Amino acid sequence: MSDIAALPPLSRSRTKWFAFGALAVAAAAFAFITVGGIGDNLVYYWGPTELVAAGDKAIGATIRLGGQVAKGSIQQARGSELSFAVSDGKATVNVRTKSVPPQLFREGIGVVVEGTMKRDGHFESQRLMVSHGNEYRAPASGEKPDMKKLIESTTGLGEAERSRKP
């Protein structure tokens, strides 16, 4: 005779309780994994107004800050460090980053910076992304594109170069 035949048969109520207990343990483990690790992976998306309104609650949290680069705010610091201000028209937040800005980065363009708010009042960014429209249009057959205008539109040099000339 085999060993299985020697075991007493399980009653229906005992089988139900076993299944219920196994499901409860599995659900508790799933909830713990889901809720326990989610706080470390959250990245909040705020505009300058929400970030300023949050005050001390924003310090140290990982945040994506979105807005426009304020006019006249871009300053190249030592090395690759760059500082500029992000505004939504109501509030402005000063940003510092050591990341190399994308080619399209310029005043007035929409940006999203990911980083943390510091106690000294600036936002320290580890990641800098620009927003841009999909306004590219391929030239019609035989049409010659104005290369100077095209380059100025992608690098923002049009206004900057004109303002430097005497």
For the stretch 84-118, pLDDT in tens is: 999 998 999 999 998 888 888 888 888 999 999 99
Q: What is the average per-residue pLDDT within 132-153?
A: 62
The total of other beta-carbon atoms located within 10 Å of residue 125's CB is: 25
Residue 25 is which amino acid? V
List alpha helices for the chain, DSSP H. 3-6, 12-41, 48-54, 147-155, 157-164
CATH class in words for 44-131? mainly beta
Model pTM above 0.75 = no
Q: Which residue type does 102 have?
A: P
145 pLDDT more than 80: no
Choose the most confident range, by mean pLDDT, from 29-43, 51-65, 134-148.
51-65
Helix (H) or strand (E) holding 5, with range, is helix 3-6
Range of weakest confidence among 4-8, 66-70, 111-115, 141-145: 4-8
Contact 155, 108 (CB under 8 A): no
Query: Tokens at residue 74, please?
Result: 């871009």
69 contacts 99 by C-beta, under 8 angstroms: no
Q: Which amino acid is at 111?
A: V
Joined together, the tokens standing for residue 143 give: 């049409």
Q: Pinpoint the alpha helices (H) of 88-156.
A: 147-155
DSSP 8: P
